[in-house]
Amino acid sequence: MTVLRTTWATRPLALGVAAAALLTALPLSSARAADERPALRITGGATQPVFSRAEAVYQHVDIETATDSDQDGRRDTVRMRILRPRETDAGLKVATIVEASPYWGGGNDVPFHNVDLEEDGLPGGKGRTGLPGLYETAAGADPAPLNASAVVFPGYTDNYFLPRGYAVAQLDSVGTGGSTGCPVSGGRAETLGAKAAVDWLNGRARGWDPEGRPVGAAWSTGDAALMGISYNGTLPTAVATTGVEGLKAVVPIAGISSWYDYYRAGGGVVAPGGYQGEDADILARAVNSRAGRDVCAPVLDRLTADQGRASGDYTAFWRERDYLKDIGKIKAGVFLVQGLNDWNVKTRHAARLWEALEEHDVPRALWLHRAGHSNPMPLRMEEWLAKLHQWFDHWLYGLDNGALDGPRAEVEQADFTWRQERDWPAPGTRDVGLRLTADGGLSPVPGRTARHTLTDAGRTLRAEQLVAAPDERNPNRLAYTTGPLGADLRISGTPTVSVRASLDGTSPYVTALLVDHGTDTRATAGTVADTSQLVCYGEGVPGDTGCAHRTRHRTETADFKIVSRGWLDVRNRDSLERQSRVVEGREYRLEWEMQPQDYVFKKGHRLGVVLISTDHDYTLRYPAGTRMTVRAGLSGITLPVAPPAAGVPPVSPWPGR
């Protein structure tokens, strides 16, 4: 067993520290106040674990929001459950780490939309049933006891951060758990519901205890952080874009930055990976766990009507749920985390958010890891806790601890080591264009033109089946490959595709797949627990040991890997906001982005591009038979190619160059 903490039975309580450096971090106005009140202990520029998790104070509060999403004539309320150091009842003021979620109250089983369309474009048959793509394990109902030692919060923030002088809190999003209102899948009411928690911590919103008595947060410094993964990682970005005072730090882990990019792409209806047929209305129905949930039926019906599955146009519905347009309002430090194998909340969310943060000069840090839709904490436990601790100490307690010093980005490599970089994409990255050639190759040198045709069979064949064996003729795909690469080739950023193509048939989709051909053992989206590695990171209580097993990457040995994908509805070739008429058989210039990536194609492997129409696991599936004709020689892909690692001589990876 690895132990990261002191022995809790012998650690002292924090009663007062006279160091001048500490006084700057305390919510006290004078040295005399510091002598009379319990205080944080700060050593080496970091808060120390001197408060008892077992003796913490537990409370829950219902907070008034600024919205009435269920239209019952009363403002919505959101329920927040709080654990805070016992010393806050004796004058200690602390900052708060909040995890807002629609999942604490549990979920519902909801039928998904059917994605197999008939000739007239209408759904046929019943869709699948299952949990939505952002679903995570719920914490269950509100804890009954007021004895905090009997209250179990999922995760590690209470075990690790409460002893260091933080309050930690769970917030039920509108329409879920103990809150009122209705879930709206990223809509404004949801954002303002979570924002109300920050307002209450600052005395700007009203709150009531379980007996209905008004209650404030006299123990709060007013400074707060929002963090979480998945939907819980989406809400921090949403709230930060309101510019709310008091929100000092956010940690979005695998969070959505634009809901359009979650359920749509390139004008098409595109699903999150693994959840074909899910949409904004399905998710809202799945998390509608409030008391009297039937009151939300009209709201949920409007979501179904307004999201628009007949097309993937970017409408007012999606604009309301696009946080990127308001990044300039963010006042918090943003620590952004994304899995490079995440096909649920895809890499585009982190890449576009990172770019917008840079544009507005928002203080920021970035971690890119090799897993999928997962929390990096058990993968890199000591480093994760140290980074998070430093981030919160700096932003919530004003400690000058180097949180913003050094490289902004850390990227996990294929061998699971980590590389620090000044920024991301990797500095020095440049665009390199490769043409699709008449003989099925990929080359930086222009060649002759030729027309190549495929017949869509994506309704029954998955992309992985269509990518395999690139040198064999397959009428249902177009495959182009380089020769064996002469050197490692790293891409860092967003590949883009440009093709001259025509379609004949019912499917409006064109899909591009970027492929690494070469037998290798590579990380997949999954992780596995290492039961030989139990790490105790914080103080335990009954039902919560404060320990966890490390995890490691799940790997797979295969002949190829789909590195990135990209989709376009040709009707939206000119605009995401509106469709344009498509004439069957007419050739159009089509351009679209693939999912951003940081990936090394190894020396000796071949880089491939595969073009298909329907992507079985992501796009709507029209009847088979659409013919797609592509003009090789006038079509190609542009790759963001990073420079070689330091000390590696520059060698052209392209065969014959």
Q: Sort residue 208 into left (φ over 0), alpha (ψ -120 to 50) or beta.
A: beta
Paired with 258 in beta bridges are 322
pLDDT of 131 strictly over 70: no
Contact of 175 with 69, CB cutoff 8 Å: yes
* Residue 129's pLDDT band (cuts 50, 70, 90): low
Share of the chain above pLDDT 70, in %: 89
Q: Based on the residue annotation, tell me whether 230 is a catalytic residue of this protein.
A: yes
Give dist(CA 202, CA 89) in Å, integer: 17
Place of tokens 């998710």: 283
Specify the amino acid at residue 426.
A
Least confident of 33-37, 148-152, 226-230: 33-37
Contact of 463 with 562, CB cutoff 8 Å: yes
Which pLDDT does position 577 carry in this prediction? Answer: 97
Q: Which of 158, 342, 516, 617 is an active site residue? A: 342
> What would the 3-class secondary structure string for 398-415 be?
CCCCCCCCCCCEEEECCC
| CA geometry: angle 384, 595, 251, nearest 5 deg | 25
pLDDT of 7 strictly over 50: no
SS3 content of the chain, % helix, strand, coil (to 5): 20, 30, 50
Which pLDDT does position 11 carry in this prediction? Answer: 29
Least confident of 20-24, 190-194, 229-233, 622-626: 20-24
Contact of 537 with 381, CB cutoff 8 Å: yes
Buried b / exposed e over 331-342, threshold 16 CB at 10 Å, is ebbbbbbbbbbb
The helix (H) or strand (E) run that includes residue 558 is strand 547-569
The helix (H) or strand (E) run that includes residue 263 is helix 260-263
- Terminal-residue alpha carbon distance, the chain: 53
What does pLDDT average to over the chain? 91
Which pLDDT does position 96 carry in this prediction? Answer: 98
* Residue 17's pLDDT band (cuts 50, 70, 90): very low
Q: Based on the residue annotation, tell me whether 313 is a catalytic residue of this protein.
A: no
Q: Which of 397, 2, 330, 384 lies closest to 195, judged by CA?
A: 330
Across residues 468-491, what is the average pLDDT?
A: 96
* Residue 142's pLDDT band (cuts 50, 70, 90): low
Give dist(CA 514, CA 467) in Å, integer: 10
Least confident of 56-60, 141-145, 521-525: 141-145
pLDDT of 13 strictly over 90: no
Q: Which of 52, 173, 230, 507 is an active site residue? A: 230
Angle, helices 297-307 vs 280-287, to 10°: value is 160
pLDDT of 47 strictly over 60: yes
Q: Which domains does the chain have, with CATH numbers?
A: 2-421 (3.40.50.1820), 430-523+557-641 (2.60.120.260)
Q: What residues contact residue 205 under an 8 Å CB cut-off, 6+ apart? A: 63, 64, 65, 196, 199
Which pLDDT does position 535 carry in this prediction? Answer: 93
Buried b / exposed e over 239-253, threshold 16 CB at 10 Å, is bbbbebebbbbbbbb
Share of the chain above pLDDT 90, in %: 86
Which pLDDT does position 24 carry in this prediction? Answer: 33
Specify the amino acid at residue 561.
K
Specify the amino acid at residue 156.
Y
Q: Which of 17, 77, 76, 70 lies closest to 47, judged by CA?
A: 17
pLDDT of 23 strictly over 60: no
Which pLDDT does position 420 carry in this prediction? Answer: 97
Provide φ and ψ at 283, rounded to 5°. Answer: -60, -45
What does each C-alpha distance from 267 to 117, 129, 252 come to in angstroms? 17, 25, 26
Angle, helices 188-201 vs 231-240, to 10°: value is 70
Q: Based on the residue annotation, tell me whether 373 is a catalytic residue of this protein.
A: yes
Across residues 241-258, what is the average pLDDT?
A: 98
The helix (H) or strand (E) run that includes residue 463 is helix 463-467
Across residues 289-311, what is the average pLDDT?
A: 97
Provide φ and ψ at 481, rounded to 5°. Answer: -140, 155
Contact of 482 with 655, CB cutoff 8 Å: yes
pLDDT of 56 strictly over 50: yes
Paired with 458 in beta bridges are none
What does each C-alpha distance from 511 to 432, 456, 498, 567 come to in angstroms? 21, 11, 11, 5
Q: Which of 566, 565, 602 lies closest to 490, judged by CA?
A: 602
Q: Which of 580, 568, 575 lies closest to 614, judged by CA?
A: 568
Q: Which of 60, 113, 373, 389 is an active site residue? A: 373
Give dist(CA 246, CA 249) in Å, integer: 9
Across residues 640-654, what is the average pLDDT?
A: 80
Paired with 166 in beta bridges are 95
* Residue 19's pLDDT band (cuts 50, 70, 90): very low
| CA geometry: angle 130, 101, 55, nearest 5 deg | 125
pLDDT of 413 strictly over 60: yes
Question: Residue 613 carries which DSSP code?
Answer: S
Least confident of 174-178, 449-453, 529-533, 575-579: 529-533
Q: What residues contact residue 629 under an 8 Å CB cut-off, 6+ apart? A: 451, 452, 453, 501, 502, 503, 504, 587
What count of other Cβ atoms lies within 10 Å of the Cβ of residue 390? Answer: 19
Which pLDDT does position 652 carry in this prediction? Answer: 79
